[in-house]
């Protein structure tokens, strides 16, 4: 049954229009985006548990798909650590709300994403019923299934009879995404509705600026199945030259950008990583590839192997490879991707952990073991609404990683 043909479900309360204002601040070194002060719309969950009514957030704050405060500033000062961070960033629905491969603009991409985080089920009459009136990354009940799992990702989700209850929520986040002022040929993108939107989410540029300000050692590795690496690297490079109207202070950041798109190709025996004249293989020593990624500096990008993921039924076994060494306290790898799931059969990364200190061999571990430690299911709504989302999430992952390392070294290899 197509979503347009199904009866529209009745929710416990209708959506209400949100109030929202936003602005910018100038500290003398360039403009910086301020967290918008708003009344959150329906669609934001209670952080105390799925399915509960929305609580009032802190003043000036909002809640995203997982209910975290998005007031624009961390609740507590971030701990400054010395370990190096290697951040593997997906592109579409992670730092971009568009998809050049499918031709989706911001309107279609945001609709498509919402269809993956709104939950319901078919009743005995075969009609769709919503089990929650707000989106969430994880199902609100054990028997809930996402709209996209039943009907497929829908680029006009909130315009259908079934998705209409989420129209106010959709409009709210689309408004937050809108580009302020005159369009910019580099940093804004035209939407299907004639308006212009941020090409790259401000939260990503805030992450770069903040980590550099903290003096952190880090690298950002774009990981995508698409062909948009060259464009994204060029856009990021121009932002770091101070050309972004809201982030002109980025020109003070010294962060090299490798403009060469790399490739990651998988086979039953090995993973090959290449970029320019660089070539490394996981066979016979997977540590070679781990060391390669751990040594990266600045920003770069690699196209992952979509055909291999498809051949493995879109499960984690054929997903983007990631190596983790629980005996290496000097480097932490963190992946952001909207297609990371706790269930391996639905997740996009293939996590592999070294079996002992200095060992060459790895074993595959469940995604759930590294979920919200090294593997982050990107909350796109938070990433849109909260300029500190990526920075705060990285800090939370670092806290959990310290605990993970301690436990792994006590328990031994996998």
Domain carrying residue 221 = 58-96+200-414
17-31, 81-95, 254-268: the lowest-pLDDT one: 17-31
pLDDT of residue 337: 98
Task: Indicate whether 229 and 150 sit together in one domain.
Answer: no
Average of pLDDT values for 346-372? 94
Q: Look at residue 39 and tell me if it is in a domain.
A: no
Q: Which residues lie across from 271 on neighbouring strands?
A: 266
pLDDT of residue 357: 86
Give the predicted TM-score (pTM) of the model: 0.82
Measured between alpha carbons, how far is residue 82 from residues 71, 275, 277, 332, 390 in Å?
27, 28, 31, 11, 18
Q: Which percentage of the chain shows pLDDT scores above 90?
A: 74
Task: Indicate whether 132 and 228 sit together in one domain.
Answer: no
Q: Look at residue 48 and tell me if it is in a domain.
A: no
Within 193-319, strands assigned E span 196-198, 218-224, 262-266, 271-275, 278-281, 298-303
Banded model confidence at residue 183, pLDDT cuts 50, 70, 90: very high
Measured between alpha carbons, how far is residue 282 from residues 198, 314, 321, 352, 357 in Å?
38, 21, 10, 11, 17
Task: Indicate whether 208 and 71 sit together in one domain.
Answer: yes
Question: 369: which 2 tokens?
Answer: 């073991």
Task: Indicate whether 81 and 170 sit together in one domain.
Answer: no
Q: What is the pLDDT of residues 189-211, one digit of tens each?
A: 999 999 999 999 999 999 999 99
pLDDT of residue 99: 80
- Work out the mean pLDDT of the chain and round it to a whole number: 84
Q: Is the pLDDT of residue 21 over 50?
A: no
Q: Is the pLDDT of residue 410 over 80?
A: no
Q: Is the pLDDT of residue 146 over 70?
A: yes
Q: Look at residue 22 and tell me if it is in a domain.
A: no
Q: Is the pLDDT of residue 9 over 90?
A: no
pLDDT of residue 2: 38
Q: Which percentage of the chain shows pLDDT scores above 70?
A: 80
Determine contact, residues 38/62, Cβ cutoff 8 Å: yes
Task: Indicate whether 101 and 70 sit together in one domain.
Answer: no
Q: Which of 369, 399, 348, 405 is nearest to 89 (CA)?
A: 348
Q: Look at residue 9 and tell me if it is in a domain.
A: no
Average of pLDDT values for 132-147? 96
Determine contact, residues 313/272, Cβ cutoff 8 Å: no
Q: Return d(Cα 388, Cα 70) in angstroms, integer.
A: 7
Q: Is the pLDDT of residue 87 over 70?
A: yes
pLDDT of residue 413: 60
Pick the last residue of a domain from 199, 217, 240. 199
Q: What is the CA radius of gyration of the chain?
A: 21
Banded model confidence at residue 102, pLDDT cuts 50, 70, 90: confident
Pick the last residue of a domain from 199, 229, 260. 199
pLDDT of residue 412: 65
DSSP state of 206: H
Q: Is the pLDDT of residue 13 over 60?
A: no
Look at the chain and count its residues. Answer: 414
Q: Look at residue 369 and tell me if it is in a domain.
A: yes
pLDDT of residue 42: 43
Determine contact, residues 164/156, Cβ cutoff 8 Å: no
CA dihedral 326, 330, 335, 340 (to 10 degrees): 10
Task: Indicate whether 305 and 213 sit together in one domain.
Answer: yes
pLDDT of residue 414: 66
Q: Return d(Cα 226, Cα 306) in angstroms, integer.
A: 8
Question: 332: which 2 tokens?
Answer: 């932490």
More confident residue, 122 or 75: 122
Task: Indicate whether 73 and 185 sit together in one domain.
Answer: no
Task: Indicate whether 358 and 263 sit together in one domain.
Answer: yes
pLDDT of residue 14: 31
Task: Indicate whether 125 and 244 sit together in one domain.
Answer: no
Average of pLDDT values for 322-346? 96
Measured between alpha carbons, how far is residue 385 from residues 40, 174, 277, 389 in Å?
10, 10, 40, 8
pLDDT of residue 47: 34
Average of pLDDT values for 316-331? 96
Q: Look at residue 42 and tell me if it is in a domain.
A: no
Determine contact, residues 179/246, Cβ cutoff 8 Å: no
Q: Look at residue 26 and tell me if it is in a domain.
A: no
Q: Is the pLDDT of residue 139 over 50?
A: yes
User: How many structural domains is the chain composed of?
Assistant: 2
Task: Indicate whether 367 and 394 sit together in one domain.
Answer: yes
Q: Is the pLDDT of residue 356 over 90?
A: no
Q: Is the pLDDT of residue 402 over 70?
A: yes
Q: Look at residue 28 and tell me if it is in a domain.
A: no
Task: Indicate whether 75 and 209 sit together in one domain.
Answer: yes
Pick the last residue of a domain from 175, 199, 223. 199
Phi first, then psi: what are they for 120, rounded to 5°?
A: -160, -160
Average of pLDDT values for 177-183? 96
Q: Return d(Cα 321, Cα 288) in angstroms, integer.
A: 14
pLDDT of residue 59: 37
Determine contact, residues 395/74, Cβ cutoff 8 Å: yes
Chain CA centroid to CA 239, Å: 20
pLDDT of residue 151: 96
Determine contact, residues 384/109, Cβ cutoff 8 Å: no
Helix H, strand E, coil C: the string for 285-332 is CCHHHHHHHHCCCEEEEEECCHHHHHHCCCCHHHCEEEEECCCCCCEE
Banded model confidence at residue 81, pLDDT cuts 50, 70, 90: confident
Q: Is the pLDDT of residue 390 over 50?
A: yes
CA dihedral 26, 92, 108, 1 (to 10 degrees): -150
DSSP state of 350: E
pLDDT of residue 358: 84
Task: Indicate whether 327 and 341 sit together in one domain.
Answer: yes
């Amino acid at each position: 049954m197509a979503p347009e043909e199904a009866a529209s479900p009745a929710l416990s309360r209708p959506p209400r229009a949100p109030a929202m204002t936003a602005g910018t601040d100038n500290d003398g070194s360039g403009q910086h985006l301020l967290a918008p002060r708003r009344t959150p719309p329906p669609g934001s969950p209670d952080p105390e548990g799925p399915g509960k009514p929305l609580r009032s957030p802190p003043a000036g704050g909002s809640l995203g798909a997982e209910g975290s405060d998005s007031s624009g500033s961390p609740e507590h000062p971030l701990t400054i650590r010395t370990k190096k961070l290697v951040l593997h960033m997906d592109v579409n629905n992670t730092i971009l709300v568009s998809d050049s491969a499918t031709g989706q603009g911001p309107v279609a991409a945001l609709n498509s994403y919402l269809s993956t985080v709104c939950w319901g089920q078919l009743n005995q009459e075969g009609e769709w019923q919503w089990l929650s009136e707000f989106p969430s990354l994880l199902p609100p009940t054990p028997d809930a299934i996402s709209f996209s799992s039943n009907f497929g990702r829908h680029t006009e989700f909130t315009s259908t009879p079934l998705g209409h209850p989420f129209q106010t929520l959709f409009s709210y986040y689309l408004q937050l995404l809108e580009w302020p002022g005159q369009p910019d040929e580099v940093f804004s993108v035209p939407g299907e509705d004639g308006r212009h939107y941020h090409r790259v989410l401000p939260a990503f540029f805030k992450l770069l600026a903040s980590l550099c300000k903290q003096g952190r050692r880090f690298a950002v590795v774009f990981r995508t199945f698409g062909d948009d690496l060259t464009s994204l690297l060029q856009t990021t490079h121009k932002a770091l030259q101070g050309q972004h109207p809201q982030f002109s202070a980025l020109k003070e950041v010294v962060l090299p950008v490798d403009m060469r798109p790399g490739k990651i190709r998988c086979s039953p025996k090995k993973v090959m990583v290449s970029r320019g004249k660089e070539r490394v293989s996981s066979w016979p020593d997977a540590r070679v590839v781990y060391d390669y990624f751990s040594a990266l500096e600045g920003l770069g990008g690699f196209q992952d192997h979509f055909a291999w993921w498809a051949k493995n039924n879109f499960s984690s076994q054929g997903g983007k490879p990631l190596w983790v060494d629980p005996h290496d306290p000097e480097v932490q790898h963190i992946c952001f991707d909207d297609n990371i799931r706790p269930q391996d059969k639905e997740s996009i990364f293939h996590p592999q952990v070294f079996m002992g200190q200095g060992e060459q061999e790895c074993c595959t571990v469940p995604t759930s073991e590294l979920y919200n430690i090294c593997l982050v299911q990107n909350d796109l709504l938070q990433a849109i609404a909260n300029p500190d989302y990526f920075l705060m999430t990285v800090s939370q992952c670092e806290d959990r990683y310290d605990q993970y390392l301690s436990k792994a070294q006590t328990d031994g290899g996998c």
